[in-house]
Amino acid sequence: MALGSAPTPDGLMVVAVVCDGVSSSPRPDEAAQAAAQAALPVLLAAARAGGDMVEASRAAVLAGRESVAGLREPANERSATTFVSAVAARSDVTLCWLGDSRAYWLAQPASESLQLTRDDSVAGGMIEAGLATEEAAMASPHAHVLTRWLGAEAADLGGDPARAPHVEHYSPPGIGVLLVCSDGLWNYLPEAGDLAALALPKAMTDPLGAAVDMVQFAVDSGGADNITVVLIPYPAPEAA
């Protein structure tokens, strides 16, 4: 993961990137780290310059892809990772993702919480197409097979809309917390309301402590996958 902030005329802008290496690819841990570290400076530079965060998000994905491509082995093996970025301004969040790492809006009451991203996976496609309930889709042995990812191949980000990154806006309705996480957390607690109950109210005043609690919850639940948790409270703190 990578996390940073930039002062703007409208207040502090917080940027988070979470990547989770694709285990079936070579060097997935390095791919995740390379993509996150390459994407963050692109987003921070655009935030400081007052740039278009949609275009900056796409540029950050390209920077991540180029960084992952630099890991290519002599045997021409290609690493891959999921990708989700969040640029949190005072009244608007720009989200960009490929794969099944997620962003959520956590609120009180918990019933007002939302999952903000849609998984690029076999299970996600089944749910979106109405072919299966979430419970049935996630029970499939192929549930976590990805249909989009950030990889070293140029074709991953080419002209095919089916392989391009998603970029969307979300306007927080009030006080709450933006959660960006890997599937190592949400595998054990996928519903937004349940995650809100776990994180709040602590996350509003101690986001780092609440993130530690959420990671510990996932470890105690089995800890079978990489666990990354970023919590950004709203309204955003004014101190860097």
Name the range with the highest mean pLDDT among 18-32, 75-89, 94-108, 118-132.
94-108
- Give me the pLDDT at residue 156, please: 47
CA atoms within 13 A on the CB side of 227: 19
How many structural domains is the chain composed of? 1
Region of 99 (left: φ > 0; alpha: ψ -120 to 50; beta: rest) is: left
Residue 12 lies in a domain: yes
Query: Which pTM was predicted?
Result: 0.90
Confidence band (pLDDT; 50, 70, 90) for 240? Answer: very low
- Give me the pLDDT at residue 73, please: 64
Token pair in block for residue 63: 């920077």
- Give me the pLDDT at residue 130, please: 65
Residue 86 lies in a domain: yes
Residue 239 lies in a domain: no
Please state, for a pLDDT cut of 70, what percent of the chain lies above it: 81
If you average pLDDT over residues 53-74, what whole number do you get?
90
Q: In terms of Cα–Cα distance, which of 45, 37, 46 is closest to 3?
A: 37
Indicate if the pLDDT at residue 211 is higher than 70. Answer: yes
3-state secondary structure the chain: CEEEEEEECCEEEEEEEECCECCCCCCHHHHHHHHHHHHHHHHHHHHHHCCCHHHHHHHHHHHHHHHHHCCCCCCCCCCEECEEEEEECCCCEEEEEECCCEEEEECCCHHHCEECCCCCEHHHHHHHCCCCCHHHHHHCCCCCCECCCEECCHHHHCCCHHHCCEEEEECCCCCEEEEEECHHHHCCCCCHHHHHHHHCCHHHHCHHHHHHHHHHHHHHCCCCCCCCEEEEEECCCCCC
- For the stretch 8-27, pLDDT in tens is 888 899 999 999 999 888 88
**Contacts for 102 with CB less than 8 Å, ≥ 6 apart:** 84, 115, 116, 117, 119, 179, 180, 181, 183, 186
Name residue, tokens 């510990």: 216
Q: In terms of Cα–Cα distance, which of 121, 123, 127 is closest to 148?
A: 121
- For the stretch 183-197, pLDDT in tens is 999 999 999 999 999
If you average pLDDT over residues 90-101, what whole number do you get?
95
- For the stretch 137-179, pLDDT in tens is 566 665 667 889 998 664 445 455 557 899 999 999 999 999 9
- For the stretch 14-60, pLDDT in tens is 999 999 999 888 889 999 999 999 999 999 999 999 999 999 999 99
CATH assignment of the domain containing 223: 3.60.40.10
Residue 240 lies in a domain: no
Name residue, tokens 């089944």: 126
**Mean predicted lDDT score pLDDT of the chain:** 88
Sheet of 102-106: strand order equals: 114-115, 102-106, 176-181, 229-234
Distance CA 16, CA 3 (A): 5
Residue 188: domain span: 2-234
- Give me the pLDDT at residue 138, please: 62
